[in-house]
Structure 1
Amino acid sequence: MSIRTQMRKGLLDACILAIIETQPVYGYELSKILNERHFKDVSEGTIYPILLRLLNKQLIYSEFQTSEKGPKRKYYYITEDGKKELDTVKHEWNQMQAPINALLKKEY
């Protein structure tokens, strides 16, 4: 497994929460959004286990909605606990990002 894959896996939950915070999405739509944002190798097979984990942690919830194109779709929404978790991850990310960038750019 590449370092890029490992790093992305560690942050993918937060990325998914960030997308769901902005808009309710269904699984395939989430996959498309991630791919549009340069997560090219994130498949639906990767996303659904993460969604299940986030559901089990009660960071998101789901509802079926009718679709104009076919069967009902399961849309995902962020919970208040999910928003708190996302805020925590954002804070931690911001705390780590600057020192790591400084070290990598040899600005110390």
Structure 2
Amino acid sequence: MGNQMTEMLKGTLEGIVLAILAVRPAYGYEITAQLRDQGFTDIVEGTVYALLVRIEQKGLVDVERVPSEKGPPRKVYTLNPQGREQLAEFWRTWSFLAERIGQLHEGEK
């Protein structure tokens, strides 16, 4: 990813992860894999895990430790009501910005 893409992604990754968790609970590796499947191929697991710690500390997710066949229990993250509110705010902000940026882009033509 280019530097501009990296910087823009930093500002939106929390909302993207919350959107993934709005569909269903998931653990860190599942989230990373889904991001990569969506085309975010340069995202590393460490970035996702650090973000999961932050959203857990903010109280946006509930965490359950689920036994794993391979190694220690997995932390499964579920979006809670506070997280759903934060996601709704993210989508409102995203819609506002996308509309304004679209207007600027159309104005260039």
Normalising by structure 1, we get a TM-score of 0.91
| Residues 1-108 of structure 1 aligned to structure 2 (within 5 Å) | 2-67=3-68, 69-71=69-71, 72-106=73-107
Displacement after TM superposition at 1:70 (Å): 2.1
CA distance in 1, matches of 2:70, 2:41: 26
CA distance in 1, matches of 2:55, 2:46: 15
My pick for the range that moved more, 96-105 or 45-54, is 96-105
Displacement after TM superposition at 1:32 (Å): 0.2
Secondary structure at 2:21 match in 1: helix
Displacement after TM superposition at 1:79 (Å): 1.1
CA distance in 1, matches of 2:27, 2:42: 18
CA distance in 1, matches of 2:54, 2:66: 21
Displacement after TM superposition at 1:48 (Å): 0.7
Cα deviation, 1:62-99, whole Å, max 9, x if unaligned, reads 111123x4232210011110000000110111011112
Secondary structure at 1:63 match in 2: strand
Show structure 2 runs of 5+ residues with no match: none
Secondary structure at 1:105 match in 2: helix
CA distance in 2, matches of 1:51, 1:29: 12
The number of aligned residues is 107
Displacement after TM superposition at 1:107 (Å): 6.3
Show structure 1 runs of 5+ residues with no match: none
Moved over 6 A (4+): none
Secondary structure at 1:76 match in 2: strand
Normalising by structure 2, we get a TM-score of 0.90
Instruction: Report the identity percentage.
Output: 33
